[in-house]
Structure formats: structure tokens, C-alpha cells
Copies of this chain bind each other. A is one copy, B any other.
Amino acid sequence: MVRHTTGRRKQEMKKMTNEKNLQVTFSKRKNNIFKKASELSILCDVEIVIIVFSPANKAFAFGNPSVESVLNRYLSENPPPMSGTLQLAEAYRRSNVRNLNSELTQVVNELEAEKKRAEDLRKMRLASQAECWWEKPIEEQSVEELQRFKRALENLRENIAQEAQALEFQSSPQFGTKNDEFDAGFGI
């Protein structure tokens, strides 16, 4: 029989350079990881969730019994540390208007901590004006935290917008409001 291929070859563990091969490899490996996850969940009767973003930044997810249920379980049992800013995950876990109040309280608490952090940073700088190099990571982390913070707030706003929109379709005539009033100001 004629040998058609060279067979599998070992792969160096670094980012693949060939974009076409990378795309194919991603798809194959992703599916196999999902398959492995499925097998694990069946063989051992456990809950599992996998979320992966493709090279084209598209999200793929697998979950047993479901993506959301496992995320909820994890986020419930492993709430994000309050030392940082409000996590989007936290908002997700408590996406409920009843909790808006306490949620914002926490936001303010975290802002308080953030303010204190900035103050501490300033004091540390005063104490050692000659050395600055170590501050860079802290600044970068600050930006990341603020970004997460922003996302959390955006998500909160999104939740309110969704509720508002849902209200539009459910509300009786006397409560009628206009959708475009809720959509305004969302172009961040």
C-alpha cells in the first residue's frame, strides 16, 4: 500500500506560526477537550464547564449538566475576593434587583479600598522617591481592576436595561413607556 502521509509529528510547545494550521489545530483540539470533558463527567459523574475563545475571539463553551449551572455553582462557592473591585461574576451571581442595593454598597466599599490603595501608594512613593520601578506592576494592576470594575458596572446597567425592556413588553398600557428612552446613553 502506498504511504499517503508522513504521520503525526511532535509539536513544539509554542504558538503555531502557520495561521491555517493553527485554525485547524484549534478546532480539533477544542473538540477533543470537550469530548474528554464529556467523558470525565460521565465516567465520574461530576460537573464540569469549559469556556474557550477561538483565535477569532469567538466564545465556545461546554458544560455538564450546563454551562450556567456549573458557573453558578462555582461562583456561589468561590465568590471572588473582595480585596479587588466588584467582579462581574459577582454581579452575575446576584443579578437580581433586590440586591442592587447591597451590590452598590459593596461597590462603594471596594472603591473605598481602591482609594486607600492609591493613598498607600502615594505614601510609599514619598517614603522611597528614589526607587520607582516596582510601582509599574501596581499601576497596571490598577488599570486592570478598574477595567473589571467598569465591566461590572456596565453589566449592572445592562441588567437594568434588560429588565426595563422586559417591562416594556409586559407592562399594561397605563404603565407604558418607550424603549428608546431606555436605550439612550448606552454608547460607551
Instruction: Tell me the A residues contacting B by CB distance below 8 Å.
Output: 11, 13-16, 22, 25-26, 29-30, 32-33, 36-37, 39-40, 42-55, 59, 61, 68, 70-80, 82-84, 87-89, 91-93, 95-98, 100-102, 104-109, 111-112, 114-115, 118-119, 121-122, 125-126, 129-130, 132-133, 135-136, 139-140, 142-143, 146-151, 153-164, 166-167, 170-171, 175, 177, 181-182, 184-186, 188
Tell me if B153 and A108 are in contact (CB < 8 A): yes
Residues of B within 8 A of A112 (CB): 150, 188
* Residues A108 and B72 in contact, CB atoms below 8 Å apart: no
The one of B11, B71, B185 that contacts A89, using a Cβ cutoff of 8 Å? B71
Contacting residue for A42 out of B15, B47, B133, CB 8 A: B15
Contact between chains at A97 and B164 (CB < 8 Å) = yes
Q: Write out the residue numbers on chain B whose beta carbons fall within 8 Å of the beta carbon of A153.
A: 104, 107-108, 111
Q: Name the prevailing secondary structure of the A interface residues.
A: helix
- The residue in chain B whose Cβ has the minimal distance to the Cβ of A102 is B185
- Whole-angstrom distance from the CB of A114 to the nearest CB of chain B? 6
Q: Are B139 and A122 in contact (CB under 8 A)?
A: yes
19 contacts between A and B (CB under 8 A): A11-B43, A29-B36, A33-B36, A37-B52, A59-B74, A71-B89, A72-B151, A75-B88, A76-B88, A82-B159, A84-B163, A95-B97, A101-B184, A107-B153, A118-B146, A122-B140, A125-B139, A126-B136, A129-B132
The minimal Cβ–Cβ distance linking A109 to chain B, given in whole angstroms, is 7
Q: Are B51 and A39 in contact (CB under 8 A)?
A: no
Q: Which B residues are in CB contact (< 8 Å) with A133?
A: 129
Given known pairs A50-B48, A52-B40, A70-B51, the reply for A95 and B115 (CB within 8 Å) is no
